[in-house]
A and B are shown apart, each in its own frame.
Chain A
């Protein structure tokens, strides 16, 4: 996953008046389940897309299936929403999950940062972390695998 510099990320958006861009973003918005999208660049340009009230919003029950590489017993700990992955609380010194570390069911494995809001990334099942896929600062999508755990033997 490409690391994106948030300070300059806005520049890559291009021309906000481009209908192709707006249509693409609207498509993503409809598929995301959210109703509203707002982008502001460092130079003050802004784009806001709001889906019309009553327009059906995608109901996603499960993210696209992803083949965990850790074998059949591997359990994928996934991102609850799109945002920036953080491996620790901003006020904490160390990462919450590292290879070899045991997580209990429901344990906090990191956060997804959406602006000033933090959403927890939690392990659904108890297990030992066998692979950490996302690095702090990575832009992750809904359902992306953050790390893999395996039931302790």
Chain B
């Protein structure tokens, strides 16, 4: 069991989401950076579907009620265990009574806390993710608060290197695949979507200008600010299904990117769709930062997805081999 000692608002229990119910209006939810949560789960020996805590407001502090392996991945929040620094993307073992503290990251937006066995709350429709708008999932469908006690699931026996261990962060290990900033703007690959051509010459400006992530952005979607773009004619559209990554353009002309808590349906014209393999990077983008969309092909999207899967698999296999070798030395 762990106890939340201090937390900012909007920190929730998340897993990889609740797919399959969008047709009945149930948002997918899930971690904004599913890659970070996936790596955290691997490092502590969890199944991929184990739930962790998504921390997006800091400082965050928790106390371990019992000895437990845990991992801190995602945004580097200068984590400390009983005052001792932990490197970013790191797993270690905490003793009963020890306190883990997460501080505001200097870059990136969200940190993930995973613990051996996962955070054990009752799954709702196959997922432990908190749906804030629906008010279900996670801990009573709400954000975490100081004093909350969270049960831990059954941990798989794991040899955790006694000095802890970690991974090369994906932004570094995969720097050739996820090219970093272009003049300070995060480069996000997207495919032109259904109503792309309806924007005529303005479509070009969608791709070329940097967009700023406005303060009216959250887990549901990012509202972008920049030079507005408009369709060449006003069209009345029926509501249609929407998924995370869809970029809609409301009448005011400033795009909205749907994120993990995406609406299930919408009626604004869609200009583009962010490729799924780039969504974790968008999930780490901060309010006030700039991003630029670059057109991608399905082939490129597939290649990025493969590179991402290869990194995850490499971490999974190497972590097991390293643990095996160290167990033999121990």
Contacts and interface: CB of A to CB of B under 8 A. Distances in A.
B177 interface: no
A36 B84 CA distance: 34
Contact of B319 (A60, A117, A122): A117
A119 B163 contact: yes
Contact of B328 (A33, A80, A91, A117): A33
Given A80-B326, A142-B329, A116 B315 contact: yes
B226 interface: no
B325 A32 contact: yes
Contact of B163 (A80, A89, A90, A117): A80
14 contacts: A34-B321, A34-B324, A34-B325, A35-B324, A60-B328, A80-B326, A81-B326, A89-B88, A114-B321, A114-B322, A115-B315, A115-B318, A119-B163, A119-B165
Contacts of B87: 89, 108, 118, 120
Interface in B159-213: 161, 163-169, 172-173
B314 A116 contact: yes
B21 interface: no
Contacts of B84: 106
Interface band, chain B: 20 to 34
A60 B329 contact: yes
Interface band, chain A: 20 to 34
B327 to A, nearest CB: 8
Contact of B76 (A33, A35, A91): A91
Contact of A34 (B85, B167, B314, B328): B328
Interface string B51-85: 00000000000000000000000001000000011
Given A116-B314, A119-B161, A90 B325 contact: no
Nearest to A118: B166
A59 interface: yes
B76 to A, nearest CB: 6
Given A108-B87, A142-B329, A120 B163 contact: yes
A91 B164 CA distance: 17
A150 to B, nearest CB: 22
Interface string A72-104: 000000001100000001110000000000000
Contacts of B85: 108
B164 A120 contact: yes
Interface string A29-50: 0001111100000000000000
A136 interface: no
B6 to A, nearest CB: 25
